[in-house]
Structure 1
Amino acid sequence: MTDPVDPVDLTARLVRCPSVTPEDGGALDILRDLLEPAGFACTRVDRNGTPNLFARWGRAGANRTFGFNGHTDVVPVGDPADWSRDPFGGEIVDGILWGRGSVDMKSGVAAFAAAAVDFVRDTPPDGALVLAITGDEEGPGKDGTTALLDWMAEHGERMDHCLVGEPTCPDTFGEMMKIGRRGSLNAHVTVTGVQGHAAYPHLAKNPLPALARLCDRLCSAVLDEGTDHFDPSTLALVTMDVGNPATNVIPRQGRATVNIRYNDAHSGQSLSDWLRAQADEVAGDFGVEIAVRVSNSGESFVTPPGELSDLVAAAVRAETGLDPALSTTGGTSDARFVKDHCPVVEFGLVGRGMHAVDERVPVEDIRRLKAVYARILKDYFA
């Protein structure tokens, strides 16, 4: 019998790949070399220079197909001198694995890849197993999981259910899973007036009081009180920029950006309409021009509690003794794309330390994550 795949060793090997978005660093080759000998049909689905890997065990169009989704790209390390250890060293010291991506989310990819290989070798299921792995989750997200899903649609591939292996637990492994995500929207506001001398304000049209008024109105607004599965939506003012080094000049323009994390009481369109209505009112009050440019990273969504969340929760409970909370908190993930393809939930490691200097993870948590994923597969195909 073949020895089980060690998810800790696999994580360390992936961490040693400097896969800062959009570079792959050899990470997907490592996974392909693991999966193909186990019978997975692997296809590189690179788009516009973005590396992606699709792997399927079993027959396309099988009566039951379970999928895992994850990413091997990572955010930049910052100044390597700030790190206690080589950020791409994959060192294991006193039961801790160090390195960029160790939490977000090379451990998750290693755990589900290891669980998948062992499962199909030891107990070949009546169905199919898909791994959709991208190198563009930390970047723009336009040619990563979306490219994989587009390719799957073109080639008759699909998943009936999917688990995204992002970190989901705030403090303790097993305490939380995600059944949805808030939407995320950025609004870039530009207020234009008339430049002039600060000593003669009546000859100018100062855009800054209007900008301040609008920002105050937006930040003071109560968007909602929360919904059945979501906390209240939030709006944060993230920057105000004038670019005026002179104290005797009234500037022509001022800019600000707000970020809205919204629940299912709203859509990107409804919030865009609200933002522009607020801007129009303030523009009329001050006699200036206000332009609002909106970019929406993804709509809010929820996978209602049921078959998939029950399956994952039962596996977590069996392996950790904890009942995971069903949450929609946090930022965005690629689940926002997968939800248009099939029901999707997320479960992974404790997220503390992701994107930070000295990112690291207990090796025991990686092993326990593999055990959870293995139990999910066993129960799904039982």
Structure 2
Amino acid sequence: MTATLRLAEELIARPSVTPDDAGCLGVIAGRLSPLGFACERMDSGPDSFRVANLWARLGSGQRPTLVWAGHTDVVPTGPLDGWTTDPFVPSHRNGKLYGRGASDMKTSLAAMVVACEQFLATTPQPAIDIAFLLTSDEEGPANDGTVIVCREIQRRGERLDWCIVGEPTSVERTGDMIKNGRRGTMSGKLTVKGIQGHIAYPQLAKNPIHLAVPALAELAATVWDQGNAFFPPTSWQISNIHGGTGASNVIPGNVVIDFNFRFSTESTPEGLQGRLVEVLTRHGLQPGADFDLSWTVGGLPFLTTPGTLVDAVRDAIRDATGITTELSTTGGTSDGRFIARICPQVLELGPPNATIHKVDEHVAVADIEPLTKIYLGVLQRLNSSAAQAG
């Protein structure tokens, strides 16, 4: 059993469902402190939803800095009788490690720690700073996790140059895909107002569903942008529609439509909001009188173009696995959206993601050690680059 596998099992055995860290950060800090990392807790949030955050740094804070970022929290298991084995008792079957968080993302955290241990054993005086930014609130609201630590780092003026988030990005084998950006996400809640009435007397009522449908049809067919070389086109999707009393003979008084934009760097929140309102008004709906609209911007898009970090990761993956990796910006959001505001180069790299959030989540044992080797290779390459730059 490798050092990475042992640590991954130790973390999986802790039931760290959001926001409960279940002691994972203590385990990791216990490995980092002997290496010389200054480990600082930045816990945040009310007592009813207390989030555990760790900021650990090795170095002065003024040299080129690589940040390892990730989360110790996992999503709920769902019904336990659906699992073949206890989700918080690491188990092995057919060459796979099973347990909640095996893929998302405790194996990545273990690989990060072990890679640093191996790197510092041979390079006790590196030319770069190394840091860890870890939270127990990535799978949840994400209001008291990484974003809180990023604000404090920015307030202090600490230097960040590169960041690798350990999200499970691979498809078939570790290293076959990395995320060099993510789309932005913005949700909206549209309430179209009508007048409730008897369905047999529509002239005495105003059906808000009928009022909304023409505009919704146009919005669903709208091309918001064409995307670009790194991003697919922006998409708009309805997630929920709520209207009616449940009776078949009552025209509802209003209808509420929940929707979401996943948008590329070709669009902005302000521009998308303005275009949506323009469609509504063109279909005879006036703000305030006929509809109310609220917005929540969950994250802005970010993009890391090929350069120092992309090159180091690509080369490390090729040397460790023989794979030529694919750059991608598909998928959901991650805490990279917060880190990208204060760090110019952010990538996501982790094991295959086919079983994340599923019953019997697992990772192939054969995918674990290559991840450690890739992370170690990135450290070596960035350190060599910084040393040569002087």
Q: Give the residue type in structure 2 aligned to 1:164.
A: V
Indicate the residue corresponding to 2:387 in structure 1.
none
**Shift in Å at residue 288 of structure 1?**
6.7
Question: What percentage of aligned pairs have identical amino acids?
Answer: 39
Indicate the residue corresponding to 1:344 in structure 2.
346
Q: Give the residue type in structure 2 aligned to 1:278.
A: V
**Shift in Å at residue 149 of structure 1?**
1.3
Task: Please provide the CA RMSD for this pair.
Answer: 1.8
Query: SS at 1:36's partner residue?
Result: helix
Query: SS at 1:381's partner residue?
Result: helix
1:19 aligns with 2:16: yes
Query: SS at 2:189's partner residue?
Result: strand
Indicate the residue corresponding to 1:119 in structure 2.
119
Query: SS at 1:100's partner residue?
Result: coil
Take 2:314 and 2:133, find their aligned partners in 1: how far apart are those partners? 22
Q: Give the residue type in structure 1 aligned to 2:377.
A: R
Aligned residue-pair number: 378
TM-score, normalised to structure 2, is 0.93
Q: Give the residue type in structure 2 aligned to 1:346.
A: E
Take 2:157 and 2:329, find their aligned partners in 1: how far apart are those partners? 31
Indicate the residue corresponding to 1:145 in structure 2.
146
Deviations 1:189-244 (A, max 9, x none): 11111011111000001101122222222111122222121111212221111142
User: Are the counterparts in 2 of residues 47 and 147 from structure 1 also a CA contact under 8 Å?
Assistant: yes
Indicate the residue corresponding to 2:376 in structure 1.
374
Take 2:79 and 2:214, find their aligned partners in 1: how far apart are those partners? 39
* 1:23-38 equivalence runs, <5 A: 23-38=20-35
Decide which moves more: 150-159 or 187-196.
150-159
Gap regions ≥5 residues in structure 1 = none
Query: SS at 1:23's partner residue?
Result: coil
**Shift in Å at residue 181 of structure 1?**
0.7
Q: Give the residue type in structure 1 aligned to 2:247.
A: A
* 1:217-232 equivalence runs, <5 A: 217-232=218-233
Q: Give the residue type in structure 1 aligned to 2:17.
A: V
Query: SS at 2:236's partner residue?
Result: strand
User: Are the counterparts in 2 of residues 193 and 206 from structure 1 also a CA contact under 8 Å?
Assistant: yes
Indicate the residue corresponding to 1:360 in structure 2.
362
Take 2:240 and 2:361, find their aligned partners in 1: how far apart are those partners? 27
**Shift in Å at residue 156 of structure 1?**
4.2
1:109 aligns with 2:106: no
Deviations 1:154-202 (A, max 9, x none): 3443322111111111233221111111111111111111011111000
Deviations 1:245-304 (A, max 9, x none): 11111110111111111111101111111122222223449x971222111111112112
Take 1:117 and 1:368, find their aligned partners in 2: how far apart are those partners? 16
Indicate the residue corresponding to 1:167 in structure 2.
168
* 1:95-106 equivalence runs, <5 A: 95-106=95-106
Take 1:319 and 1:225, find their aligned partners in 2: how far apart are those partners? 36
1:294 aligns with 2:291: no
Instruction: Give structure 1 regions of 4+ aligned residues with deviation exceeding 4 angstroms.
Output: none
Take 1:162 and 1:305, find their aligned partners in 2: how far apart are those partners? 14
Indicate the residue corresponding to 2:246 in structure 1.
245
Indicate the residue corresponding to 2:182 in structure 1.
181
User: Are the counterparts in 1 of residues 244 and 251 from structure 2 also a CA contact under 8 Å?
Assistant: no
Indicate the residue corresponding to 2:276 in structure 1.
275
TM-score, normalised to structure 1, is 0.95
User: Are the counterparts in 1 of residues 244 and 253 from structure 2 also a CA contact under 8 Å?
Assistant: no
Deviations 1:7-50 (A, max 9, x none): 11111111111111111111111111111122211111111121
1:43 aligns with 2:16: no
Deviations 1:39-77 (A, max 9, x none): 21111111112101111122232x222111111111111
Query: SS at 1:218's partner residue?
Result: helix
Take 2:214 and 2:82, find their aligned partners in 1: how far apart are those partners? 40
Indicate the residue corresponding to 1:191 in structure 2.
192
Q: Give the residue type in structure 2 aligned to 1:64.
A: P
